[in-house]
A and B are shown apart, each in its own frame.
Chain A
Amino acid sequence: MEVSILKQGPYLIVTIPAALNDTDLLELRDSLVARVGESRSRAVIIDVSALDVMDSFSSRTLRDIAHIIRLRGAGTVIVGIQPEVAFAMVQLGLTLEGITTALDLEEGLAYLDRDPFEVGKEIRSRGR
């Protein structure tokens, strides 16, 4: 299953489908990292609201994606983690520390649309 990456101004937006397997997620990681450079994007928004489960692998891969993209000079915001999924993640010990999250796509965009210099600074320092 190929995940489409939408370009919206300086951002790339990805909506993760419900039944994403490991291979799909790793492919998404690779294409996102390439697209950030090709599109000269400032940030990537990953919408996980359709995802029914965030287990150790998907959580680690999302964290890796955010770190790799930071090294490419852009930021990442994970949006739409569902309440039950968040609860299960905490039980599992997956806190996505250092990763910027927002309630939904709208909040994610609003967050990035604030002062770009401030946002860039914050994202970079959080990922450290």
Chain B
Amino acid sequence: MTVIPLRSAKRSGPVADDEVMAIGSDVDIVTARQKGRAVARQLGFSSTDLTLIATAISELARNIILYAQRGEIRLGIVQNGTEVGMQMTASDTGPGIPNIKLALQGGYSTSGGLGLGLPGVRRLMDEMEIASAVGKGTTVTATKWKR
């Protein structure tokens, strides 16, 4: 299992019950991003951040369908001192990512897509971490802190 932390991950723990959404079809992508927006709105994120969060969820859900057909996205609230953030964890038991570094380069794709998914999510969110093992699956965790 390779784990690549992408930015200095702050220590944080979930403070509320996580919301788990099963992802298995393109309809679930829409449902997941709407749910994510609703959770982020409750946390008081700005309207720009709501859109960034919803877009990131959309990309992560899309990756699950493209590469693993099914998986889940977990939404949770995290806290670091006085800071509050929203964390999304997209996990699947799909083929895994053979080369994470390559997958994080813009324009690289093994699915015929634009290759913007993972590098895009990294730019949309504040922190991102990928754990992937070939043949076992992938877990992407991304966090947005409330400003």
Contacts and interface: CB of A to CB of B under 8 A. Distances in A.
Interface of A: 19-23, 52-57, 59-60, 82-85, 87-88, 91-94
A85 B51 contact: yes
A56 B62 contact: yes
18 contacts: A20-B30, A21-B30, A22-B26, A52-B54, A53-B54, A54-B55, A55-B55, A57-B62, A57-B113, A83-B48, A84-B47, A84-B52, A85-B51, A87-B51, A88-B48, A88-B51, A91-B52, A92-B123
- Most chain B CB within 10 A, of A19, A23, A85, A93, is at A93
Q: Give the secondary structure class of A's interface.
A: helix
B120 A84 contact: no
B34 A88 contact: no
B50 interface: yes
Nearest to A24: B26
A52 B51 CA distance: 7
Contacts of B58: 53, 55
A93 B121 CA distance: 11
Given A88-B52, A93-B120, 16 more contacts: A19-B34, A21-B26, A21-B29, A21-B30, A22-B26, A23-B26, A52-B51, A54-B55, A55-B55, A57-B62, A60-B113, A84-B51, A84-B52, A92-B123, A93-B123, A94-B116
